[in-house]
Amino acid sequence: MSKSRDLAALLDSSGDVVADALDNAGGGGGGWALVSTDNLSGNVGSVVLSGDYSAYSQLKIVITNLYGWGQNDTRLKLSDDDGSTYCSWDQYSAIVWNENGIKGSAIGWGQAYALVLDSTFKISGASAQKAIMTVDIYIDGNDICYQGRADGNDTGGDHAFCVSKGSGGDITSVNYIKFDRADWTGGQIKLYGFTA
């Protein structure tokens, strides 16, 4: 349909927009939708997000005002059966650095988890820093990939980056996301889903 015919379909004979015409005109495709919001408090050893995410080809987790009480290597686990079994990862790598250079790094493969934060990322203790963290999970058939980063907001704050690829055939969707060994005490978690 030409642009002139599209416009004509939205207008009446007086040139006014037909009632409900814009609601039914269609759009330019999908986009990001807020799926859930959760607030952390107390000493949280693990955080679980669960639900039917099958409508989304990509998920984004944004954690703001993140504080922790431990310094563990936070792990990400993904499942398509409500946490009974988890995707194994072909490989993962995580690195932490600040203004003084690289603080720590970790790699692994064939495990049921992938690191989100190496244990050297500091959000606790006397040198605690408030942090923001984002994690993107991309689902492409039998492959699941994720990448994430975290940044402390104080002077000399730590930065972290992680990337991982899930083994083909393990899972083809996600309905259960678990941050394990988190040791977080505060923050807000927002989960977004992307539709094409």
pLDDT tier at 45, thresholds 50, 70, 90 = confident
CA distance 15 to 190: 43
Task: Count the neighbouring beta carbons within 10 Å of the beta carbon of residue 107.
Answer: 11
Q: Among the listed ranges 2-11, 58-67, 144-153, 186-195, which one has the minimum average pLDDT value?
A: 2-11
The structure tokens listed for 132 are 């923001």
Higher-pLDDT residue of 140, 105: 105
Among 190, 107, 105, 187, smallest CA distance to 152 is for 187
> What pLDDT, on a 0 to 100 scale, did the predictor assign at position 189?
94
Give the model's pLDDT for residue 51. 93
61, pLDDT greater than 90: yes
Domain range summary for the chain, segments of one domain joined by +? 1-28, 31-194
3-state secondary structure of 96: strand
pLDDT at 12: 57
What values do phi and psi take at 8, rounded to 5? -60, -35
What's the pLDDT score for residue 28? 55
31-194 has CATH 3.40.190 classification? no
